[in-house]
Amino acid sequence: MSHATHSNAALTPRARLRLALLIVDHGWPPARAAERYDVSWRTAKKWAERYRTEGPAGMVDRSSAPHHQPNRTPAPVVRKIVHLRWKQRLGPVEIADRLNMASSTVHAVLVRCRLNRLTHIDRATGEPIRRYEHQRPGDLIHVDVKKLGKVPDGGGWRYVGRQQGGKNRAATALRTGAPKSKYHQPLVGTCYLHTVIDDHSRVAYVEAHDDETKETAAAVLRNAVAWFAARGVTVQRVLSDNGGAYRSHLWRDTCTELQITAKRTRPYRPQTNGKIERFHRTLVEGWAFKKFYNSESARLAALPAWVHEYNHHRPHSAIGKAAPITRLNNLPGHHS
C-alpha cells in the first residue's frame, strides 16, 4: 500500500520499508544499504531503527513541526481572540487592535481554530457550526414539508410577467372554484411537498399533496419507510420540526408501530434540520422554478424524473461529489 509523501523526500514509504528490511531482516550493513538506495548512512540507520521500534507503520511521514513551540500564542490570549470572534464577530484587525498584537497572529489563531470564516459560525448563537453525519443509511431520516404556490393554467408570473400571470391566476381560480384571499386576490392553491432525506446518503423521497395534516404526514412516513426498506435500508430514527402533524398522537403512534424513534428539532432552530432545508433549496432551483410549466400538473409530472436524477446521477458536494444512491450499501456495484 502506497502512502503520500512530501515532495523533497529521497525515499517513498515503500522504499523506506525495503531499505529497513535489508538492514534488520537480511543483516545488511547500513552503509551498504544506504549505497543501494543512494541515501546517507544516517538516513538508512534512521529508517532501520524506526522499523525496529514501530514496524511498517513507522515508514510514513511525520509532521516536521517542533514538539515545543515557545513562540506560540499563549492559551489565555487564544481564548480572548476566540471570544471576540464568537460573541462580537470582529475581524483580525479589530481583534489585534483591542489585544495590542499583530493582526497576522490573530488570523493564524482564527485559522487554527477554524473561525477565520464567519460562515463557520452559527448566525443565531455565535457558536461554531457542528456538522454531523450518521454512519449508516437509515440511522436517521429528516422529514419536512415544503410549500409552493401552484402553477396557474398558462404559467406563473415568473415566466409570463405580472400582468399575464395575474390573468392566468384569475382564470384558474375561476375554473377550480378556489376562494379569494383576504386581499381579494384569486387563489390557485398550495402544493405541499412532503420530503424525506436519509442523513447518511442524502437519498431523497418526495410526495406532493394538497395538505400537511397529521394523516398525510403519517401516510408519507409509512410510504417512505417502505420505499427505503425495498432498497435494503431499515429506518431507526426520524427527525422533524415542531409542526402540528409531528406533535400529534397519530405521528407518535405511527413511529411506535414502525419501531422508529421520533425526534424533534429545538424550537426556532431550523439549522438543526439543515440537510432537508438545503435539499428544499436544491428542489426549488432545480425543479420547481427551473423552467416554464404551463400548469401545475405539468410541473408535478416532471417531479419523479427530477428526484431520480438527484438520487442517481447528480453529484452531491457534501458526500464527495458522488450520487446519493451510491451510499446505499445494498446496491450492486456500490458497496461502501
Taking residues 261-267, what's their average pLDDT?
85
pLDDT at 257 > cutoff 90:
yes
Supply the pLDDT for residue 276.
87
- pLDDT band for 2, please (50, 70, 90 cuts): very low
What secondary structure does DSSP assign to 171-229, as a single string?
Answer: HHHHHHTPPB-TTS-B---EEEEEEEEETTT--EEEEEES---HHHHHHHHHHHHHHHH
pLDDT band of 222, cuts 50, 70, 90: very high
Q: What is the pLDDT of residues 186-209, one digit of tens each?
A: 667 889 999 999 998 899 999 999
- Look up the pTM and report it: 0.59
Q: Which is more confident, 59 or 248?
A: 248
pLDDT of residue 184: 57
Q: How confident is the model at residue 336, as a pLDDT?
A: 38
Which pairing describes strands 204-209 and 190-198: parallel, antiparallel, or unpaired? Answer: antiparallel
Asked whether residue 71 carries a pLDDT value surpassing 90, the answer given is no
Type of residue found at 69: Q
User: If you average pLDDT over every residue of the chain, what do you get?
Assistant: 83
Specify the pLDDT at position 65.
Answer: 72
Of 98-107, 170-179, 248-257, 287-296, the one with minimum mean pLDDT is 170-179
pLDDT at 332 (0 to 100):
46
What's the helix, strand, coil split of the chain in %, to 5? 50, 10, 40
Burial class (CB in 10 A: 0-12, 13-18, 19+), 189: middle
Check residues 125 and 311 and name the one with the higher pLDDT. 311
